[in-house]
Amino acid sequence: MAKLYFYYASMNAGKSTNLLQAAFNYAERGMATMLFAAAIDDRFMAGTITSRIGLTAPATPFDAQTDLAACVRERHAQDPLACVMVDEAQFLTPAQVDQLARLCDTDGIPVLAYGLRTDFRGDLFPGSARLLAIADSLVEIKSVCTCGRKATMNLRLDADGRAIAEGQQTEIGGNDRYVALCRRHFTEALGRQPATQALG
C-alpha cells in the first residue's frame, strides 16, 4: 500500500538534500517521479528545488490554489509515477495534504513531503499540522543547535541579527534570516521565561 511520509526538521537540516537524493535514487532505477516546489520560495530559480550544498532538480511550482491531485494524475497518465515528492511542505494547505493522502490511498502513488514543523514563533504551520495528523510515517531529520543539542526550533532574525517574536508566519529567508536552535536557546533568545521558572 502506498504511504504518505512527512519528513520534518528545523531550518538547515538537509530536507531538500534528502529529497533530491531520494529522487536521484528513483531515477537511477529508471523510475519516474514528480517533484513539487513552493512557488512562494523565491530564494532560488523558480521551478527548481535547490539544496544548500548545491544540488538542484526541476520541479513543478505549487501555491495554495494548485490542484496537486489533478497535476499528478495528468502526469501519471502520460508516464506512470513511482513517487511524488514535495519540498517546503509546510506551505501546503490542509486540503492539499488531503489530496496527497488520496493519491496514496486511491491511486497507489507514494508521497514524500519534506518541510518545517513549526514557524519562528514555535507554532505549527497549517500544512505541517495536517501532515502530522494524517501521514502514515513521520520522520524527523535531525539538526544541531549551537550548543550541540538537537535543534527543533526556527529563530527569525532581523537585519541586525536580533531575534524577532512578531510578524507574518511566512517570510522567506535563509541563514541570513533564520537560525535553528534547541528549545532552551530559542526561548532564551526571545527573552521568554522558561516554564519551570514561571511555575516556581
Rounded Cα gap, residues 195 and 67, in angstroms: 42
**Whether residue 88 lies in the annotated active site:** yes
Tell me how crowded residue 89 is: count the other CB atoms within 10 A of its CB: 30
Fill in the amino acid letter for 142: K
Q: E strands of 47-152, at which residues? A: 48-50, 56-58, 60-62, 81-86, 111-116, 137-140
* Active-site position among 74, 88, 171, 188: 88
CA-to-CA dists, residue 68 to 27, 35, 102, 103, angstroms: 21, 11, 11, 9
Instruction: Show which residues are catalytic.
Output: 88
